[in-house]
Amino acid sequence: MVRFACLMGCFCALLTSALAQTAANAIDAEGHQWWQHAVFYEIYPRSFADSNHDGVGDLNGITSKLDYLKDLGVDAIWITPCFPSPQVDFGYDVSDYENIDPMYGTLADFDALVSEGRKRGIRIILDFVVNHSSDQHKWFLDSKSSRTAEHRDWYIWRDGKGPEEPPNNWISEFGGSAWKFDATTSQYYYHYFYAEQPDLNWRNPAVKDAMFDVERWWYKRGVSGFRLDAVDTLFEDPNLHDNPALPGKNAYGDPLQEKIYNTKLPEVHEVLRGLRQVADGSGAVLIGETWTKDVSELRKYYGDHSDELQMPMDLMFTKLKFSAPVFREHIAGVDGAGGWPVYVISNHDIVRSCDRYGDGQHDDEIAKVMAALYLTLRGTPIMYYGEEIGMKTTPPTRKEDVKDPIGRTGWPKEKGRDGERTPMQWDKSANAGFSTATPWLPVPPTYKTHNVADESKDPDSILEFYKRVLKLRHTSKALLDGGYQALNENDPDVLSYLRTYNDDVVLVALNMSGSPKKVNFQLKHNGFSSAKSLVSTGKSSAKGDEVSLGPYGVFIGQLIRAENH
Ligand code: GLC
């Protein structure tokens, strides 16, 4: 049964909360903020474009590709950490929060990127690693130097339980105990991730002040917001209770545990409110790396008074099976959660979307279905570089080639994250046009078939499809601001929905199966005469009440009102 409901209630609520924001925000006449209409694009700077021919990407490389991004339909780029760093975790170990790593360029290069971006309407988002610094940061070097050092309490130091026994049973996300003994002061320090990434002590007001200052510093430099790294892990139980054990072991051989005493503590929300206050002063947006177990956990990150993250990422979306009912149910939950949804299908920590959803035979078609899906939902999408050309995860085949340290400790169960961080495939010249030097990670063999240059010339390519959908998204009121309404909710294969903004109604129908499908939408019965195709793939088309979809076909169409309605 098809249901066409009035969606104005939800739209009005959104409008009211948006109007309450400060005037410093770029808000349109209807109260939408810039980030609600923007398409975000994540760039892993080591792998995007190498301008100085050393095999590693850099900021000038990114600047040289701004025209490409503009043409694609990108409004904001999130650059994963490009600050000075020993690169143990490829930048997520920051040794100076207010500078650029020479490997990526200089602050002047960064300023040029901001100003060239501005000319094209592309904003810059940086990655704020709030949970930990590098062990080479001057704060930590001082902290470890003596028990009475000025920065001692900026990190988490404790005595062991006994000789050679860490303070408790907490396990690092990257393997082994989360405590490392330091002989200089005969105490252990806590690190949720690598030992080279000691956790900052957010219970110390001096840490808070220093980090808020970092945030302000970058806003003054022209940054439009931050993606906040690992926010779940900012606080730990000060009494260091052991985490309860779970059956089984992780890829590193550690016993599994329920991380109730060192993740998702309620104090996290107070810090988010503080960071948000600073952001609001600059019209900036905060995006969260929010791995949540369900929608109610996700909802908390918006804040009880919409005063925390404007854009907590729905990372649950990356774990769903490619199935119409599964996506339908999930979208309904997130869309109804009361905040502005933020959809993501890939990032630098997980297997690429093409591999997760692809069946090995229809990968390009499936990539288009996924693009059509998350780029037409109510909310803001965050793309990952290379997704728009159908790049595939290409993990190392030998342990000795692994660059990501977790791939070496976890081999062969955990091969690390190199596979999803390979160089951008610009063309089919040597090194895929990424660099004239040998790239830091090998270019996957797929660069010959999936690259920007060739796909730009092929109207049926994934890239051209992304461009068409993004163009539509930027110009369609229904897609930008309309409500979401699921249709045909019992269909096991075709996911379909309406996006409705006043009289502007767009129908999206996605065949998530390998067989052709015909779907009746009872358009006439609901006051519409027909559906006019806006973007579709293969042989998908509409006739009368019916939409025909090819295998993994996409139909996005404008609904035309019947004369007498
Ligand atoms: C986040 C990043 C990941 C990094 C970790 C530690 O999860 O996305 O790449 O390794 O934080 O900073």
How far is the centre of ligand 1, averaged over its atoms, from the C-alpha of 289 (Å)? 9
List beta partners, residue 138. none
Index of the ligand 1 atom closest to the CA of residue 129? 12
Q: To test the ligand 1 pocket, which listed residue (83, 229, 313) has its Cβ within 8 A of the most ligand atoms?
A: 229
List beta partners, residue 43. 79
Type of residue found at 392: K
Q: For 188-199, what is the mean pLDDT? A: 98
Residue 254 has pLDDT above 50, yes or no: yes
Burial of 9 (0-12, 13-18, 19+ CB in 10 A): exposed
How far is the centre of ligand 1, averaged over its atoms, from the C-alpha of 93 (Å)? 9
State the Cα–Cα distance between residues 347 and 92, nearest whole angstrom.
14
pLDDT computed for residue 30 by the predictor: 87
State the Cα–Cα distance between residues 207 and 133, nearest whole angstrom.
11
The helix (H) or strand (E) run that includes residue 267 is helix 267-280
Residue 19 has pLDDT above 70, yes or no: no
pLDDT computed for residue 539 by the predictor: 87
How far is the centre of ligand 1, averaged over its atoms, from the C-alpha of 92 (Å)? 6
| Beta strands per DSSP E along 324-480 | 342-344, 380-384
Which percentage of the chain shows pLDDT scores above 90?
94
Residue 373 has pLDDT above 80, yes or no: yes
112-159 confidence digits (pLDDT tens): 999 999 999 999 999 999 999 999 999 999 999 999 999 999 999 999
65-103 confidence digits (pLDDT tens): 999 999 999 999 999 999 999 999 999 999 999 999 999
Ligand 1 atom 9, closest CA:
349
* Residue-averaged pLDDT of the chain: 95
Cβ(550)–Cβ(511) below 8 Å: yes
Residue 20 has pLDDT above 90, yes or no: no
Residue 314 has pLDDT above 50, yes or no: yes
Q: State the residue for tokens 């979401």.
A: 484
Has this prediction a pTM greater than 0.75?
yes
| Count of C-beta atoms within a 10 Å radius of residue 17 | 16
- DSSP conformational letter for 162: B
Q: For 335-351, what is the mean pLDDT? A: 97
Ligand 1 atom 11, closest CA:
230
Ligand 1 atom 4, closest CA:
92
Q: To test the ligand 1 pocket, which listed residue (79, 89, 315, 344) has its Cβ within 8 A of the most ligand atoms?
A: 89
* φ, ψ (nearest 5 deg) of residue 356: -70, -40
* φ, ψ (nearest 5 deg) of residue 256: -70, 155
Q: Is 164 left (phi over 0), alpha (psi -120 to 50) or beta?
A: left
Ligand 1 atom 2, closest CA:
229
pLDDT computed for residue 29 by the predictor: 86
**Any residues with Cβ below 6 Å from ligand 1, and which?**
89, 92, 129, 193, 229-230, 289, 348-349
pLDDT computed for residue 565 by the predictor: 63
pLDDT computed for residue 9 by the predictor: 36
Residue 1 has pLDDT above 60, yes or no: no
Q: State the residue for tokens 């990952």.
A: 384
497-540 confidence digits (pLDDT tens): 999 999 999 999 999 999 999 999 999 999 999 999 999 998 89
CA distances, 101 to each of 59, 95, 131, 488 (Å): 10, 9, 20, 52
State the Cα–Cα distance between residues 392 and 360, nearest whole angstrom.
11
Buried b / exposed e across 153-191, counting CB within 10 Å, b at 16+? Answer: ebbbbeeeeeeeebbbbbbbbbbbbbbbebeebebbbbb
Q: Which residues form the catalytic set?
A: 229, 289
Residue 5 has pLDDT above 50, yes or no: no
State the Cα–Cα distance between residues 232 and 284, nearest whole angstrom.
21
Q: For 56-63, what is the mean pLDDT? A: 99
Tokens of 63: 């600047």
pLDDT computed for residue 24 by the predictor: 42
How far is the centre of ligand 1, averaged over its atoms, from the C-alpha of 376 (Å)? 28
Residues across the chain: 565
Q: DSSP labels for 437-468?
A: SPPSSPPPGGGGTS-HHHHHH-TTSHHHHHHH
How far is the centre of ligand 1, averaged over its atoms, from the C-alpha of 18 (Å)? 31
Query: Quick check: helix, strand or coil at residue 365?
Result: helix
State the Cα–Cα distance between residues 129 and 228, nearest whole angstrom.
6
Index of the ligand 1 atom closest to the CA of residue 417? 9
Index of the ligand 1 atom closest to the CA of residue 192? 6
421-457 confidence digits (pLDDT tens): 999 999 999 999 999 999 999 999 999 999 999 999 9
Ligand 1 atom 7, closest CA:
230
List beta partners, residue 182. 187
How far is the centre of ligand 1, averaged over its atoms, from the C-alpha of 531 (Å)? 44
Q: pLDDT band for position 26 (50/70/90)? A: confident
Q: pLDDT band for position 10 (50/70/90)? A: very low
* φ, ψ (nearest 5 deg) of residue 413: -65, -45
